[in-house]
Amino acid sequence: MSPRVEFPRHGVHVCVEPHATLLAAARAAGVPIDAQCSGVGTCGRCVVRAEGALSAPAEEELAVLGVDAVASGHRLACRARVLGDVRVHDADVAPVRAVAHATEASFWEPDSRKHLGAGSLGLAFDIGTTTVVLALVDLSTGDVEATRSMLNAQFPWGADVMSRVAAVQHEGLEALRAPLVAQVVRLANAVMADAGAPASAVSELVMCGNTAMRGIFLGDDVGPLGAAPYEGVPLAARDASGAELGLAGLEHVSVHALPCASAFIGADVVAGIVATRFALSEGPALFIDLGTNAEVVLATGSGLLAASAAAGPALEGAGTTSGMRAAPGAIERVRRTEDGLELDVIGGVPPLGLCGSGTLDLLAALLDAGVLDPSGRLQAPGGPLDERVIERDGVRAFVVDAGRPVVLTQKDVRAVQLAKGAIRAAIELLLDEAGIRAEQVERVVVAGGFGLHADASSLVRIGMVPHGLETRFSFVGNAALEGARAACVSRAARREADRVAASIRTLDLASAPQFQGAFVRALDFPPKNPR
């Protein structure tokens, strides 16, 4: 008889083969567990509290969790194996939560629709590698009635695109597609409930996402994205019905998937460019979509040149020791004061961790204080912050808040250096390719949910963006969702998306011989007061 694994908090159970991991059981049950390392036992994020017939603790569990935590029933879901019936009492749940709408003012007026009748609403959603966001839209006015988001249900298969692609290759497309489709339905039901609207009132659905996320949702084979030459995944705009895509309760809805520009530049970037009218830039301009994959687009005045940089999850508050998403308890702003640091915490509650914007502010403050040297090494240079530089488990760390276990470790600093180095190298190579100097860039448009909270001076101080551009930033929030909203109400916006996707020329950084050198040079932080 197959062992039974119960998840009481979710009201579900599943029967699995003996020796299956708790992470595999959670995936089978549709229970989201954060496993950023894709189950190799290194990130320590998939902690659960479980009881029952389980394998003896693995060395990785003891090293990551400690003896006392394991003795109290805490286990790493990717390492604990099911030997008999098990109850998993606590798992990392991804709640449906309301979010603020993108701040970018709309350039797109709704089409004239005099006979909308019952189908007067639309759904717009952006499938991010980390987060899925969905908005309910009034088709006659273009107004957003409700917006919700969730941690992407594919997170148990890894925090980055390539982990998801590898999982599709090993486990099959449906293993990752099914939880994503179910999640979209759940979000749709949530926003309809918020607005008091029945499913029959929804007639349109427009989606965007990076090339891999879009392809998985549409049921395309994304395997070609796993290796060069990265070709073969459909890129063109697609129309389908809710029934064809398996959207339970929304079978009657017309679905439109916005186009991708290439394997590296997805429909989310195209949507963001449409939302901001970035393609109409007359002079040199940069569009930076900050996320797990950071896309950079350069408007040259005569066209669009783009590149994708593998930033990883550190900039979104994941993959670092005290990292968390922008939720209550997250430190989102850090300012250096005469005698220490001043912290702004979301929700005005005691700090629980650092979201991406808080991490970048902290790095900038530590650089100015000399606690970080240009190479990224934590040190105690003599000053009010020295006592916060400690050794923890043989690794140097900085205590962010003396009363809370919120730290920035040397390893965390390196993770951000890798992310910002990749983005800065992409910017440098695009500028070189176009023959444009950094000082000629007239504006820098920063998109993405994280980008809405970032600070221009911190981005420049850590060297992610060239010095001297501090006053040329505009932050537009989730421009991808705004682009999907525009395409939901405007056929002209859909045509513009097709035009933008066809006009973008992608620079493949992996094959660019200059990239490695540019990347290495970009890893160091700028010295204080660079000239």
User: In the prediction, which pLDDT does 97 show?
Assistant: 40
371: pLDDT strictly greater than 90: yes
- Quick one: tokens of 106? 């709309």
> What confidence category does residue 218 fall into, taking pLDDT thresholds of 50, 70 and 90?
very high
- Percent of all residues in the chain with a pLDDT value above 70, rounded to a whole number: 90
The pLDDT of residue 502 is above 60: yes
The model's pTM is 0.79
Task: Dump the DSSP string for 166-206.
Answer: HHHHHH-HHHHHHHHHHHHHHHHHHHHHHHT--GGGEEEEE
Q: Which residue has the tokens 């001043």?
A: 342
Strand segments, DSSP code E, in 373-465 are 389-392, 395-401, 406-409, 443-447
Is the pLDDT reported for residue 398 higher than 80? Answer: yes
Backbone φ and ψ for 91, nearest 5 degrees, come out as: -135, 155
pLDDT at 101 over 50: no
Cβ-based burial of 196 (10 A; exposed 0-12, middle 13-18, buried ≥19) = exposed
459-477, pLDDT tens digit by residue? 999 999 999 998 899 888 8
Please compute, for residue 16, the number of CA atoms within 13 A of its CA located in the half-sphere on the CB side: 25
Q: How confident is the model at residue 522, as a pLDDT?
A: 95
pLDDT number for residue 403? 73
Phi, psi of 104 (to 5 degrees): -65, 125
Unique residue bearing structure tokens 């999982």 = 167
| Residue 277 main-chain phi, psi, to 5 deg | 55, 35
Instruction: Decide: helix, strand or coil at residue 82.
Output: strand
What does the pLDDT look like over 305-334, one tens digit per residue? 999 988 777 777 667 888 887 778 889 999
State the average pLDDT over residues 516-526. 95
Residue percentage of the chain with pLDDT more than 90: 57
- pLDDT score, position 530: 47
Task: Please say if the pLDDT value at position 378 is more than 60.
Answer: yes
Q: Give me the sign of the Cα torsion angle 108, 109, 114, 117.
A: positive
What's the rounded Cα separation, in Å, for the pair 393 and 131?
Answer: 32
CA 50 to chain centre: 29
* Mean pLDDT taken over the chain: 87
Per-residue pLDDT, 48: 86
pLDDT tens, 433-463? 999 999 999 999 999 866 566 789 999 999 9
Nearest to 255 by CA among 127, 386, 377: 127
19-48 residue pLDDT tens: 899 988 988 887 777 665 556 666 666 788
Distance CA 367, CA 370 (A): 5
How far is 12 from 6, CA to CA, in rounded Å?
Answer: 6
- pLDDT tier at 151, thresholds 50, 70, 90: confident
How many helices (H) and strands (E) the chain has is answered by: 13, 24
DSSP helix, strand, coil percent of the chain (3-state; round to 5): 35, 25, 40
Strands, E, within 270-322: which ranges? 285-289, 293-299, 304-310
Residue with tokens 């056929």: 491
